[in-house]
Amino acid sequence: MEGYVSSFVGGGSGSADKGRRVRCSRSRGNWVAKTTVYSSGRGPSFAETVGEDTPVYDVNGNKLALTDVVSEGGKTTVISWLRHYGCSLCRKQVADLSRLSDSGLDELKNVDLIAIGSGTAEQGAEFLKEVKFPGEVYSDPQRKTYKALNFTKGVLSTFNPAGLGKLMESFSSGNKQRFEVIPTDPFQQGGCLVVSPSNEVVLLHRDDFAGDHVEESKLLQALKSV
């Protein structure tokens, strides 16, 4: 991809390609950037990133193209992909977004929030009732958007010391684990996208392990650049 890009990872190997500065981490056997903040006007289109007709389901079970959901708003959009709807870490994930949204920061004004879970529409509807989230919840039971974004998946990305530490932190914040909610894939990790009003990707983050959510400073940096 042409132009300058800043990428941030916790570890891994470095590489450079076509003017990019990229540090990478392993996902599904490939080396991919963990957090990428694109320079203004240099990011890929949202449709190119997730696929033009990739479907999601709203809480009423209606099938929609994710690109249509985002383009309808005409605003900057923060999309957070959750592991699954029973996950304590995912409850903390949306709670942190809600806190930012309520903070009054200029970066969060006129921003739409979307959460996508790898479960059923029914699970998504129940999740939305239980959490205080000022955005919309959509479901991707076949994880097509997760696959399009090359999100991390695997046993070791789920069960590891770093993830356990994040889980204990989430429990201490009062976020319960709903063991009765059966995930479509318990080893799927999530991530985050920031999409500009012109449907350009400004930030792409892939969780390396459970609870490895995008850093607040990187999210605000991306929102400032829009």
What's the confidence (pLDDT) of residue 32? 61
Q: Which two tokens stand for residue 154?
A: 């695997």
What's the confidence (pLDDT) of residue 181? 79
Which residue ranges in the chain fall short of pLDDT 70? 1-32, 171
Residue in the structure block whose two tokens are 């806190």: 99
pLDDT in tens, 174-217: 777 777 777 888 999 999 999 999 999 999 999 999 999 999 99
What's the confidence (pLDDT) of residue 5? 43
**Domains of the chain with CATH codes:** 40-225 (3.40.30.10)
The per-residue DSSP string of 148-174 comes to: HTT--BSHHHHSSHHHHHHHHHHHHTT
Q: Measure CA 77 to chain center.
A: 11
What's the confidence (pLDDT) of residue 171? 66
What's the confidence (pLDDT) of residue 136? 96
Residue 79 has phi, psi (to 5 degrees) of: -115, 120
User: Global pTM?
Assistant: 0.82
**Cβ(119)–Cβ(184) below 8 Å:** yes
Question: Residues near 153 by Cβ (< 8 Å), separated by ≥ 6?
Answer: 28, 146, 185, 187, 188, 189
